[in-house]
Chains A and B, each alone.
Chain A
């Protein structure tokens, strides 16, 4: 695991040295800023009181959050392994005394760090809200935990897709499809018959319902277990994939 630190640093460097990173961050912050602006505008001009807080509206019950993740995650993860395999640098990397697990974890940690750094400026929205009224900080913490975990899960899937192919474009497309698929499965909660296994399954994997819960300050362990699975399982498979194209 001693290889973790140098690879982690290099990945961060490689991400922030490319224009792609700054384009993604800019687009992300513009979209989130617009989203926030509309929510505040609606709340400010509303005549009847709402049963939602602005925070709940920002993180839960909105498709915008997923749209952003859907646009953001695939281009962040596509290059992780695919680029190195295409350019051949993976050969130099893997012939150094490093373990497959260290490589996978370092790359993953770097991309999660980047993802969290992107969310960091949005904490300013809390400051804005705080000046206009009360903010439930626990609910806010839960909401941020929620986006952190959901994003981490998506990034893990993206990393796996990047490890499975040497084409960045293919990794991008398959990751986007996987994220979309997961979202659609969650919609199944409202479509499947009540009480059936399918409905139970869909509600368990529903990222939508999860974000609604987290945005209201409800942190359910079942959600945490699901998120942990979403993070750990693809990482584990990715490690095996790296081992496979290495020793296969």
Chain B
């Protein structure tokens, strides 16, 4: 239903989306995952026909978005990030306007608007001014707008952004329901959201596609997450010892909040987070054993060894590490990628 091949988008000299290719099949619910500024919104805007592309081809339900933009836009229900709406209109009025704009036949308009309001659960605010609605309701009005012309494809840009946990749960269940009848592509930077709603996931970081697969694979990827080790002794020694271990991937210093900076030299502890080198058979538990042995051998005192909690950042670090040279620079880049740049 959605086919993207070698998509490139440049803003002047800045490359927002760099050679991204993926496919979304009929009936898939796909999560488009990435940190802020990764190029998610840009990609979705291109798919929705709001932005032009620099290179590559995008086709929606068989229609090319540049040459056959009208047909492509008609096949899509798009909900922009933050769901911008006209505050001076009432919900039902707004949806009727959107239905007319999207060429819903006059005789169907009332019933289709009613159905969209039911699906998005905004029937109770149908006669409220949009400007007076809470963020959660506005977001759902945006969702109703995406649904109103009954398109086969839904593209939702961060549908749960800015909602409280109850609203998030509501929207997720709506999306899940919709996934049974629609092809859905939704973007998010929340890992658990993808696991809760999507069957497949596409991960993008810094404008590049870094991974693609079933949500189950994502779980596995998370399973191999980093190990955290806390030692007492000189940090330089510990780093050197860890680096020397066979099969060691990234090593990065983890600030340890438990130790006050003023404590005596011999009491000072430091923590390191390390990963197995990608595709290295000697990784896993064996690596942890070897790492601890190496630290002890180097005369350091190991205080704690535990698996680091899998976060999106770790996932990115892992996913990007396989494609980079190992070492501090790569680690620094992978971490910095999380907060860098505005989501264009």
Q: Could you list which residues of chain A lie within 8 angstroms of chain B, going by C-beta atoms? A: 2-3, 5-7, 9-10, 13-14, 17-18, 87-99, 246-248
Contact = CB atoms under 8 A, between A and B. Distances in A.
Nearest to A10: B97
B84 A3 contact: no
B325 interface: no
Interface string B100-130: 1111000000000000000000000000000
B268 interface: no
A6 B51 contact: no
B95 to A, nearest CB: 12
Given A10-B97, A88-B80, A95 B70 contact: no
Contact of B45 (A6, A18, A91): A91
B85 A92 contact: yes
Nearest to A18: B88
Given A95-B73, A97-B101, A98-B101, 14 more contacts: A6-B101, A7-B101, A10-B97, A87-B84, A89-B84, A89-B86, A91-B50, A94-B50, A95-B48, A96-B73, A97-B74, A97-B102, A247-B51, A248-B52
Please list the 6 inter-chain residue pairs (A to B) with the smallest Cβ-Cβ separation, ordered nearest first.
A247-B52, A88-B84, A6-B100, A89-B84, A91-B80, A95-B48
Nearest to B76: A95
A26 to B, nearest CB: 20
A218 to B, nearest CB: 43
B21 interface: no
B272 interface: no
B145 interface: yes
Given A89-B86, A91-B50, A3 B73 contact: no
Given A91-B80, A246-B52, A14 B103 contact: no
B78 interface: yes
B49 interface: yes
Contact of B49 (A5, A13, A88, A95): A95
Interface residues of B, number: 26
Interface in B60-96: 70, 73-74, 76, 78, 80, 82, 84-86, 88-89
A98 B86 CA distance: 18
B273 interface: no
B70 A92 contact: no
A150 to B, nearest CB: 30
A96 B102 contact: yes
Nearest to A88: B84
Nearest to B47: A95
Contacts of A99: 70
A90 B50 CA distance: 9
Contact of B103 (A2, A18, A90): A2
Contacts of B102: 96-97
Interface of B: 45, 48-52, 70, 73-74, 76, 78, 80, 82, 84-86, 88-89, 97-98, 100-103, 142, 145
B55 to A, nearest CB: 14
A22 to B, nearest CB: 14
B82 to A, nearest CB: 7
Nearest to B93: A13
A97 B86 contact: no
Given A89-B84, A95-B80, A96-B73, A246 B50 contact: yes
Contacts of A17: 88
A94 B49 CA distance: 8
Contacts of A5: 100
Given A89-B85, A91-B45, A92-B80, A97 B103 contact: yes
A92 B145 contact: yes
Contacts of A13: 88-89
A215 to B, nearest CB: 38
Contacts of B45: 91
B82 A88 contact: yes
B74 A92 contact: no
B230 to A, nearest CB: 46
Contacts of A96: 73, 98, 101-102
A96 to B, nearest CB: 5
Contact of A91 (B52, B73, B84, B98): B84
Contact of B70 (A10, A87, A97, A246): A97
Contacts of B48: 95
B50 A95 contact: yes
A88 B51 CA distance: 13
20 contacts: A5-B100, A10-B89, A10-B97, A14-B86, A17-B88, A88-B80, A88-B82, A89-B84, A92-B80, A92-B84, A92-B85, A92-B98, A93-B101, A94-B50, A96-B101, A97-B74, A97-B101, A99-B70, A246-B50, A246-B51
A226 B312 CA distance: 62
Contacts of B84: 87-92
Nearest to B98: A96
Given A3-B101, A6-B100, A95 B52 contact: no
Contacts of A92: 78, 80, 84-85, 98, 142, 145
A9 B100 CA distance: 11
Contacts of A9: 97
A80 to B, nearest CB: 13
Contacts of B100: 5-6
